[in-house]
Structure 1
């Protein structure tokens, strides 16, 4: 049985002031009239019904997500009691999914997706997901999607594939190892070798397989999961379930599933894909998605007056933005908040958010 787990607990601080704690990046409509989380759900609905799609989020965002995704059963919106990174989050929500369908005598495959990634080729994406789910079910593998790189990107982790021949798209390969974000020189080596893929952060596994991996690789997490499982019943959900799980969440070590499971598991497979993927990590990613004007400027949702200004990104909810003699800037206005940043500082916008919240 195929299910989806959409991770939607991020704060999207690099998209401030558009993104706020109660309306983060995944709830913004950056690329169409739909929010990014709505696009994510719609992407999988043709192969996974709404009652088998689950959303992992936090208490600040839960109500807005319920409003945005009215077709998803309210009890499928799982509120994490505390942020303890993805190992705890994915394990906890997998328990909820497993308990929900334990009356069915069949394996449960879980597709873990981010709520705020852009994927242009939905058809190929679904085909690959189904292929990966079959591999996960038949061979007890944990499957991930590896993005075929088109440049030496230093902002992504990489997956090294255990193969001596050229990688074919949409085929299944054994993972040799995961690599951390490289510097420019190493990234160039990775791309030229043809044996490395970008780590997309999308995973496919059965609940049986993921908990066996937790038992071997993260026994402390397993002990806490077992305590939580004893407290879960299908007649509680939402805030009530979060309150029940909260005391146990405090016991979790804060660690990602990448560091806890993916880098050490013995049966990780990867499917190389080219699906128009972008993790939209900061405002500069818009330059890879939208067509610029003749001077390299990207203007969204506003009127702009431009003179001798180049390679800027401008987003405004009202009024007119005028640019004169500037280049490589990010200019964003949302209600009373205005951000002006150099593109090179896009990754540091969260530092401004920290000061804003002081």
Structure 2
């Protein structure tokens, strides 16, 4: 059996293998293996990993899940918000409030080409796995866990790398967002062009709504985005078929209360985008098992059982800022 066939079997039950084989929570690991700074997701269904050994190591870590109980109490009031009482009755209401607020904000200057983007993203499960990994194995790994990362705003080498059509630098993402049209349908169509889907060779192609949600999610992870552009993005997000919103704030991996915008990824999993209820910035993401099932792995690896409520991915963005140098914190 060739390596790519075994790779495709890692999530044989998922209808769109591209995102399953490269979930956002695994981006830090795969980018380190490829020697690239952490930035955006690889988006195509025909994505390749050079080493099957690396795939197995990443999958073993990423699929080791812990069931997490949501401690939020929908009867308790959430944090003070700029918009007053939140309307979480529907995606249109919640995202419309966010867009209304963002449209009133002043657009700050675009970062300079010599500046850096600082991100702090909490991933407790990944941190736990790293700390519990034997020291001798950690020494052989081409990556290490750190919640802090620095990304050059202007990365000309990456922009000019035509071999990777899915990668977008911070500057490219900023300008893509700034140029998006007002009309939600036209905006989503533009993002589907910017972040294309696979050719179907590795499994069924995404439908239009799944593609729109994935492409939009990738852009939301970029920082910074102009507030007026973020408003247009949220209004478009509300129009995607299958979008939902929890009717109360939930706890993220950093313990904060956040808005959760949801959409089913497949019949077994729900994807959630977190939004800060105070300034409506992107606050992280989570993937939750919605149906008990087993995931089969490569030959020789026992199937992994997922229980309803298990968390497959839980990332909280707790800080984001433009800084003047790598290593600098705000």
TM-score, L = length of structure 1: 0.23
TM-score, L = length of structure 2: 0.24
Q: Which protein has the larger Cα radius of gyration, Structure 1 or Structure 2?
A: 1
Larger relative strand fraction: 1
Higher relative contact order (CA 8 A, sep 6+): 2
